[in-house]
With several copies, the nearest count.
Chain A
């Protein structure tokens, strides 16, 4: 498959906000972007899926709690089971946790405020589908913007995540939300499904973001798709 032949879908829920940005990032990485609709139980033959940031359904009950029941999510869960790469960013991460594709849950920031700032992250794992382009230990500057990003899971779950090398990114230079063990992003057992609170799609062009450090995530997935 050529890069442009790779089709990456981006879901739009009512209340999604960063869907346009995720699609822009996909195009910037050289792949084709495909719009997916929450009410449409069809992935339209895409090769990977991004669940973008925002406030799906207003995030009123708990972030992501209502979105996990959207018809499109049934298909995402099915496809992820068959190994399709899936990335959840911010609200998308919350949705993937609620949907059971990733362990744990994202709770109210310990500072009790919404935080928007440029945040340093350290790459802990560069073997997942979404992180192969990074050197292990590399530090990235990527925006965060969330009110509920404190990653919480039971101790044994946290131990297992660390033991299996499934922590993708950790906050460095200050933990912005009180996440357990400074966790900013994780992956599933197979390294195909990834979720993180920071917004790589807002770090693809230094004109509109702090850096282009986020582009590597999209390029990483594209490498896998092209090689397949």
Chain B
């Protein structure tokens, strides 16, 4: 068993209204100095050892992310 993290973030050039809303709200709460926020998704998967990197990439590309508007990254972590 391994733990795999898949990060999915909106592409740089794509509008990210969620991140923008967070960025706009921070100064109102007295938090200064944060110039940009982007909000994406984080998936944590419990994966059998037999599942190879290629499969994980396909899962990320075809399923967890929408490659038209999102970038993704897969990494195995200590669980």
Give A contacts to B, CB under 8 Å. Answer: 57-58, 60-62, 65-66, 69, 98, 104-105, 107-112, 150, 152-154, 178
Residues of chain B contacted by A150 (CB below 8 angstroms): 17
**B45 at interface, CB cutoff 8 A:** no
**Total chain B interface residues with beta-carbon distance under 8 A:** 15
* B17 in contact with A58 (CB, 8 Å): yes
The answer, among A98, A104, A112, A153, for a CB contact under 8 Å with B21, is: A112
A-B contact count (CB 8 A): 51
Q: How far is the CA of A109 from the CA of B18 in the complex (A)?
A: 9
Residue pair A61, B68 in contact (C-beta under 8 Å): no
Q: Is the CB of B17 within 8 A of A112?
A: yes
What residues of chain A lie closer than 8 Å to B29, measured between beta carbons?
69
Contact A178 B17 (CB under 8 A): yes
A110 and B17 form a contact (CB under 8 A): yes
| Contact indicator A98/B66 (Cβ below 8 Å) | yes
The distance in angstroms between the C-alpha atoms of A57 and B66, with both chains bound, is 17
Contact B63 A65 (CB under 8 A): yes
Q: Kindly list chain A residues whose C-beta atoms are within 8 Å of the C-beta of B18.
A: 58, 60-61, 108, 112
A150 to B18, CA, bound (A): 13
Q: How far is the CA of A112 from the CA of B25 in the complex (A)?
A: 14
Are A110 and B15 within 8 A (Cβ)?
yes
Are A152's CB and B68's CB within 8 A? yes
Q: Please tell me if B14 contacts chain A, counting CB pairs below 8 Å.
A: yes
